[in-house]
Amino acid sequence: DAGVTQSPTHLIKTRGQHVTLRCSPISGHKSVSWYQQVLGQGPQFIFQYYEKEERGRGNFPDRFSARQFPNYSSELNVNALLLGDSALYLCASSPGWGYEQYFGPGTRLTVT
């Protein structure tokens, strides 16, 4: 069975631009969460979507938004990129509430 997939693998953007990251969960999983990991730190929770509705949001500015599609895949959007947005963005899927989460390989975003 395929695990969580994310695209693209790497991305370089300029300050002020917009970026869209994509995630496909494990087949049968209905919950997708997004995390940001900056160098030397543990991942930080950004959003969780379950059954296409936002169910949780971490302490991130409104420049960050996300959505989940009918097939349970998800997009993370970041507007007006800042240098500090450079990080590894991780997507996790789980069957539902309170279950074990499985992570994708991540998208490494560099903002110059």
Partner 1 sequence: GIQVEQSPPDLILQEGANSTLRCNFSDSVNNLQWFHQNPWGQLINLFYIPSGTKQNGRLSATTVATERYSLLYISSSQTTDSGVYFCAVGEGGGADGLTFGKGTHLIIQP
Based on the shown chain and the rule CB under 8 A, indicate whether residue 105 belongs to the binding site for partner 1: yes
107, 6 Cβ separation under 8 angstroms: yes
Q: Which is nearer to partner 1, 8 or 16 (CB)?
A: 8
Footprint on residues 73-92 left by partner 1 (CB under 8 A) = 88, 90, 92
Contact between 41 and partner 1 per CB under 8 A: yes
**In this chain, which of 5, 44, 73, 86 binds partner 1, going by CB under 8 A?**
44
Does 95 contact partner 1 by CB under 8 A?
Answer: no
Question: Footprint of partner 1 on this chain (CB under 8 A)?
Answer: 31, 33, 35, 37, 41-45, 47-48, 50, 55-58, 88, 90, 92, 94, 97-103, 105-106, 108
